[in-house]
Chains A and B, each alone.
Chain A
Amino acid sequence: MLSLIGILVVVVGFMLRLNTLLVVVLAGIVTGLVSGMSFNAIVSDFGKFFIENRYMSLAIAMTLPVIGILERYGLKEQAEKIIKRVKNATAGRVMLTYLGIREISAAVGLNIGGHPQTVRPLVAPMSEAAAKAKIKGPLPEKLSTEIKTFAATVENTAWFFGEDIFIATGAILLMKGFFETQGMHVGVWNMAFWGIPTALSAFIISWFRLRRLDRRISQAALQVAHSSEGHTVEAQAKDNPESADKEVD
């Protein structure tokens, strides 16, 4: 039971909003100490696991310089221009399209996306541009944040629930390997096939939430249109100084 103290450290640390890195390290040290490890052994374990998991930083460290150049040369602006030309494009539909492509490609074993390489430079700005086109003006800060957050969630949902349908993916191989250590032979097809209903339900639930997001954007568009009646365009910009400023950054 004493080994659960690390979990307590994590929970309390997060509740007190301490620096996350500090909380994680403290939890590791405390857990190690109560299970009888010396301080240096714990620090050494930190080093070992950290080095073993360096691959986790590969996607972000290697793609950011490229994304940086492209953003400097107007990638987001170009993505916005294109989506404005697509009739009936809405933020929800843009993200749902990405969700569908990402989930299906993951299900056939292809990893085509990720937060740094596709969502930040393409999906998020396209979704925001679609919403801007609807509102016909600057996007309120709150909606902009919400769209970006949704874009991040779509990536996770698509990848998690699509990936497990492919038989050669890490998760399925892990399960197979686990059963083998238990002396059981379990077919991979069984595992992959019966994942499909959950993967579909994840898609439908996301579709439902994205549709509601679109409805909120439409309402915001109506409000903007309503408040601009009888006002000049400058007056409208004055009503919304914050979002107008954000537009430039």
Chain B
Amino acid sequence: MPYILGMQFLYYLIGVIVLVVAGQILLDRNHPKRWTSGLFWFLFAMTFIIGDKVSHLVIGYMILAMVALSALGQVKNGGRDTSTKEERLEKANWLKGKLFIPALMIPVFTVIGTLTLGHIHFGKWHLIDTTQVTLISLGIAAILSFVGAMVITKAKWQVPAREGSRLLQSVGWAVLLPQLLATLGGIFAAAGVGKVVSDLVGDYLPTTNAFVAVLAYCLGMMVFTIIMGNAFAAFAVITAGIGLPFIVQMHGGNPGIMAALGMFAGYCGTLMTPMAANFNIVPAMLFELEDQNAVVKKQIPSAITIFIVNMFLMYFLVYHF
């Protein structure tokens, strides 16, 4: 179906935002790694702006260049605090509750957009790409919220440029990690890693026992998700390799319940792995935690408890309903 507004529009916008970050760094004479950090963010911006225009090989080498810059310690955060607590308190006293309006505009407009934008069309032309409604809604909500924030604070244009650059630099090279790990997941899948893992589990565990079948499936989902950083990638492989043959076909379990709780077992793995960077590593950088694995470590006790509860729930539910 043809549409007017798709992801590419938002990618251009992200590209411009990241270009501004690169520009801020290059203009900053006191930046500890001015040229190399600037280059890193410039290359990242280019993946959004020309990502569809050049060959994948060119993008691949751009990624290798960004990774090399970061591995050699050439990407540094030059963002300094731009305001003091007193200044901010004074401004907060001036704007008070109005400050929350733009912050709340992001979730509110995302929800409104998700519920409505997908249904708007002019003849056969849809307003937005109907396969990406939530993401496009989030993007539009962020734009509206940006306008709201500029109006309410009457900020000059340097403010978003400087502050956005400061925050993105505090995330730093970790900003590449989610996309890069998705890449690794793709290469693992192409190389047949999943098949090998599920064969190993199936071969070494006595899955003729109904409980062991559940245990093997849940463990397989968790371990494979820890390796891949993505429960969705684990699902197809482990369900085809362990779930369907042992739980459904051998022991007559309910496939719907198995799938739902199996996915949860995978999420327990997501909570425990640095490979799920966008959930675990990026927030640690964003909250300026010293230990980049702090979030993972804090999640491990909950994840193991939920995993055990979930596994027994599956055992009791999957064979009875």
A residues whose Cβ falls under 8 Å from a Cβ of B: 1, 3-4, 6-7, 10, 14, 18-22, 24-25, 27-28, 31-32, 34-35, 40, 42-79, 81-82, 109-113, 115-122, 124, 145-146, 148-153, 155-157, 160-161, 164, 170-172, 174-175, 178-179, 182, 184, 186-188, 190-192, 194-195, 197-198, 201-202, 205-206, 209, 247-249
Known A-B contacts A32-B187, A179-B255; the reply to A66 vs B182 at CB < 8 A is no
Q: Which stretch, B28-36, B205-213, B306-314, touches the partner chain A?
A: B306-314
Residues of chain B within 8 A of A57, CB atoms compared: 14, 175, 178-179
Partner of B60, one of A44, A117, A171: A44
A62 and B13 contact, CB distance less than 8 A: yes
B82 interface residue per 8 A CB criterion: yes
Question: Chain B 143-155 against A: per-residue CB contact (8 Å), 1 yes, 0 no?
Answer: 1011001100101
Residues of chain A within 8 A of B196, CB atoms compared: 1, 3-4
B122 interface residue per 8 A CB criterion: no
Q: For the complex, give the distance between the alpha carbons of A44 and B88 in Å.
A: 47
Chain B residues bordering chain A, tally (CB within 8 A)? 141
Q: For the complex, give the distance between the alpha carbons of A38 and B257 in Å.
A: 42
Known A-B contacts A45-B56, A69-B150; the reply to A164 vs B92 at CB < 8 A is no
Residues of chain B within 8 A of A61, CB atoms compared: 14, 17-18, 168, 175
Q: For the complex, give the distance between the alpha carbons of A181 and B178 in Å.
A: 28
Residues of chain B within 8 A of A44, CB atoms compared: 55-57, 60
Distance in Å: Cβ of B91 to nearest Cβ of chain A: 4
Q: For the complex, give the distance between the alpha carbons of A4 and B294 in Å.
A: 27
Residues of chain A within 8 A of B135, CB atoms compared: 55, 58
Known A-B contacts A54-B48, A81-B92; the reply to A45 vs B60 at CB < 8 A is yes
Residues of chain A within 8 A of B107, CB atoms compared: 112-113, 117-118
Chain B 267-312 residues near chain A, CB threshold 8 A: 267, 270-271, 274-275, 277-284, 286-287, 289-290, 292, 294-295, 298-299, 301-302, 305-306, 309-310
A149 and B294 contact, CB distance less than 8 A: yes
Question: Chain B 104-140 against A: per-residue CB contact (8 Å), 1 yes, 0 no?
Answer: 0011001100100000000000000000101100110
Q: For the complex, give the distance between the alpha carbons of A151 and B179 in Å.
A: 24
